[in-house]
Every structure is written in structure tokens, then in C-alpha cells.
Amino acid sequence: MLKTKENLSDLATKCISKAKSLGATDVEVALGNSISDTLNFRNKKIEHADRSETLSLGLTTYINRKKSNVSTSNFNERNLNILIERCIDCTKISPEDKNIGLPNKEDLENKIYDLDLYEEKNLSSDFKKNYLQEMEDQMFTNSKVKNSNGSSFSENKSNFILANSKGFCNGYKSSVIYVFCEALAEENGLMERDYEICTSRFYENIDDPKKIGKKAASRASRRLGAKKISSGKMPIIFDSRVAKSLLSTFVSAISGSAFVRGTSFLKNSINKPVFSKKINIFDDPLIKRGLGSQSFDSEGVKNKKLSLVEKGVLKELILDNYNAKILNMKTNGRSGGSTNLFIENGEIDLNEMISDQKKAFFVTELIGRSGDITNGNYSVGASGLMIENGKLTYPVNEVTIANNLEFMFKKLIPANDLVFKSSTNSPSILIEEMTVAGK
């Protein structure tokens, strides 16, 4: 059973009081408790079952403009007292930094939104077993699927408290259910793998197991007989499952730390066009049941929906308190990164987007590191399906796609198939031209 909010709050308050008595001018404490249950399946049989519980405490102490932090999973009172003393000793000899410090009190959240992030019901082992059984049974109805590469059902519940010496002390429970299914298809002695996943806060929002098993099998089987293609330039369509990686790279490039270091190719792009006028990108922490939703950021700062890009123009950075001070800006509640990040739907249907292409490459999987935010260069291994005369034809693998992110962003065209499946989401995306390195 998870530790209660009251239990965690009481412990945080005691740690703050102890640190203050030893000379800390400010203190921050983050306490977390999580319980995770995972059931793994392979070839219609239970392969492994695991249950784990974690406790964590992170303590940060400040003495004016000096700072240090420590962490532990041992909540014994004697251990905590020793830990706090050591943290204070480390803080005393730490270098000064004029930008170090807790957020201003007026920036701290004083209202906790009910974002419906916690599933009260505990799912039984039998429920998970039957779910996985049904999922793999459906997967094996595809005649080309000869083996399972593993399926799993994970249920995680957590509770946390963030407290500081400015009077902030709050937290909330959250839960996540994660289902994974990976199929192995075989034909003429050759094998291909692919997967399907589903993630949700609540079990009632998890996809039907037959749907997940069918998708994993279909994705794996359609990769059989993959060919290499000749090198050249052509349009690229990123399936929504992989298109979100472009969005993740973009957010890394507009982080406060990247701007402070001057290591982003977008460092001079604030309030300038980065995408076409049809592109809007949002980060919304207040979506009910959202996988990235939060009432406040990891510093306790208020957060709200941000329009990162409006009609193609970069309007906001991802800022925490420290980097915002260096940039002479104000934190926007993004300590810890983006929340529910997404590109707004476009106007064109994916099927229409595909049918408009005489010759293009539909990317369904990316392999390896992709964009370099320092110079914008983009190069990554890819596999997918060839588009010829408006139709998906044969599978393709062992190619590399490349261009520069600055060009790609300007030429980016979103489809209208946005679905919220994770904390970063994107519709399928068309890039009008990229270099494809094949045979």
C-alpha cells in the first residue's frame, strides 16, 4: 500500500526543520513512493512476474547562493539526520552561483487541480494473465507470426510530495498502465519483428487486447520481404508513431539550458518563424488523465498550457527557474521538461497524403540517434514501406534518411490523425524532400 500524503508531508516537514536548524537558508524536499506490478508473457505462457516498491527522498539545501543535494531510499530517522548533516556540510563548501535559489513564492502553485490521474482499482494477476493470453492468441491468428518476442502488462501506482522552506508542500497520486506486444513474423526463412503498445492512466481506456495483438502481428508481417532502395531524394512521410521523435528533438532545441549554453541551432529564433504558418505546437499540463499532466512542475511552480509555436513562430522556451534567471526571462513551469506536448492536427487525411505521392517513403521505424540540436543536422536509420503511384507497396529496410532540421521544420506538413498515446504526440508528418541513402 502506498504511503499516504500525510505521512510523506510530515516527513518532508521534519527534514526541512532539521536542515534549517543546521544553518540552511532554504530547503527543498522531494519524497516519492511507487509500487509496480509487471506480468511478462511469451508464446502464450507466463515468462516472468515481478512486483517492486520504491521509496525515494531527494534533499536540496541552500546557504545563500550555495547549493548541494543528496538522495536516499532509507527513511530511518538516524540515517536521515546523518544525510541532512552531510548535505549541509557539502553546501558550505560548494561554489557560489548568483542564479541559484528556490523560485519566488508568488510563482509557486497554490491550487492543486483535479486532473484525474489515479486509478483506485487494483487489477488482479488473473485479469492481466487473461488479457495477455487473449492478446497473444489474437496475434497468432496471423499465419505469418510464428513466435512471440514478448508481451507485458505493467501497472504502476505512485504518490509523491514536494515541499520547500517557502511554505510549499503538496503532491498527488498517479497511476499508469502499460501494455506491450511484440510479434515475430517469418517467411522463406527470414524473420521480422514489430510491436504495438498502449498506455493509459485507467484500465478502462486501454485498448481491447485483440486489437493490440492484431496490430503487432500486422506490423511485423508487413515487414517481410523488405528490400533496399536506390539512393536519392524523395518525400518522406513519418508515421505518427515515429513522427513524435521530431517533436522531441525540437523541444530539446528550445530548452532553457540549450539556449544558456548557446548550443541550439534555434538559439536566435525566439519570436521568429521556425515552421510554416500552418503549424501550431502546444504543451498542456492540465489535460485530464493526460500521461504528462501535472498540477505543478518539479520546483512547485505554476504551469499552464503553452503555445510554443504559433502560426510557425517560436513563442516560448522550456524554462525552469535557474535557466530563466540567466536568460533574464521568467520561468514558465517547465522544470522537468515538457508535459503533454503535441503538434496540432493538420487539414489532410493520412490516406489522402499517401495517395498524393507518386513516389515516397513511408517511415514506420527509426533506428539510432536522429537530430543534432547544435547544428540541426538530421540523419537516422529507417525502415518502412515504399509508396508508388499513391499506394503502399513493398517493405523497405536498411536505409538512412537525412536533411537539416531547419529545412525540415519549414517544410513540415501534418496529417489529421493526432491521437494522444503518450506524453509527446504528433500526427503523421510529410516532409517534402529528404535524402535517402540506400544501395
CATH of the domain at 89: 3.30.2290.10
- Say whether both 358 and 210 belong to one domain: no
pLDDT given for residue 206 in this prediction: 95
pLDDT given for residue 272 in this prediction: 97
- Say whether both 309 and 178 belong to one domain: no
Reading phi first (left if > 0) and then psi (alpha if -120 to 50, else beta), residue 389 is in: left
- Say whether both 215 and 283 belong to one domain: no
In this structure, what DSSP letter does residue 299 have? T
- Say whether both 189 and 233 belong to one domain: no
What domain count does the chain have?
A: 2
Q: Give the Cα separation of 66 and 185 in Å (integer).
A: 58
Q: Which amino acid is at 290?
A: G
pLDDT given for residue 369 in this prediction: 76
pLDDT given for residue 111 in this prediction: 86
- Please say which residue of 193, 221, 249 terminates a domain: 221
- Say whether both 430 and 399 belong to one domain: yes
- Say whether both 128 and 22 belong to one domain: yes
**What is the grid cell recorded at 185?**
513474423
- Say whether both 209 and 99 belong to one domain: yes
- Please say which residue of 176, 200, 221 terminates a domain: 221
Domain that holds residue 42: 5-221
Q: Which amino acid is at 209?
A: P
- Say whether both 129 and 211 belong to one domain: yes
- Please say which residue of 164, 194, 221 terminates a domain: 221
Q: Give the Cα separation of 28 and 15 in Å (integer).
A: 9
DSSP string of 185-247?
EEETTEEEEEEEEEEESSGGGSPPHHHHHHHHHHHHHTTTT-B----EEEEEEE-HHHHHHHH
Instruction: Yes or no: say if 91 and 63 are a contact pair by the CB < 8 Å rule.
Output: yes
Report the chain's terminal Cα–Cα distance, integer Å.
Answer: 57
Contact partners, residue 148, CB within 8 Å, separation at least 6: 41, 42, 43, 44, 136, 139, 140, 182, 183, 184
Instruction: Yes or no: say if 74 and 188 are a contact pair by the CB < 8 Å rule.
Output: no
With vertex at residue 270, the alpha carbon angle to CA 267 and CA 276, rounded to the nearest 5 degrees, is 105
Instruction: Give the pLDDT confidence of 246-304 residue by residue, as tens digits.
Output: 999 999 999 999 999 999 999 999 999 999 999 999 999 999 999 999 999 999 999 99
Q: Give the residue among 337, 35, 41 at the shortest CA–CA distance from 176.
A: 35
- Beta strand 391-404 with 145-164 is unpaired
pLDDT given for residue 438 in this prediction: 86
- Say whether both 200 and 231 belong to one domain: no
- Say whether both 260 and 285 belong to one domain: yes
Residue-wise pLDDT tens for the chain (439 aa)? 788 999 999 999 999 999 999 999 999 999 999 999 999 999 989 999 999 999 999 999 999 999 999 999 999 999 999 999 999 999 999 999 999 999 999 999 998 889 999 999 999 999 999 999 999 999 999 999 999 999 999 999 999 999 999 999 999 999 999 999 999 999 988 999 999 999 999 999 999 999 999 999 999 999 999 998 999 999 999 999 999 999 999 999 999 999 999 999 999 999 999 999 999 999 999 999 999 999 999 999 999 999 999 999 999 999 999 999 999 999 999 999 999 999 999 999 999 999 999 999 999 999 987 789 999 999 999 999 999 999 999 999 989 999 999 999 999 999 999 999 999 999 999 999 999 998 7
- Say whether both 37 and 91 belong to one domain: yes
pLDDT given for residue 304 in this prediction: 95
Contact partners, residue 53, CB within 8 Å, separation at least 6: 33, 34, 35, 36
- Say whether both 241 and 125 belong to one domain: no
pLDDT given for residue 141 in this prediction: 97
Q: Give the residue among 415, 409, 280, 419 at the shortest CA–CA distance from 353.
A: 415
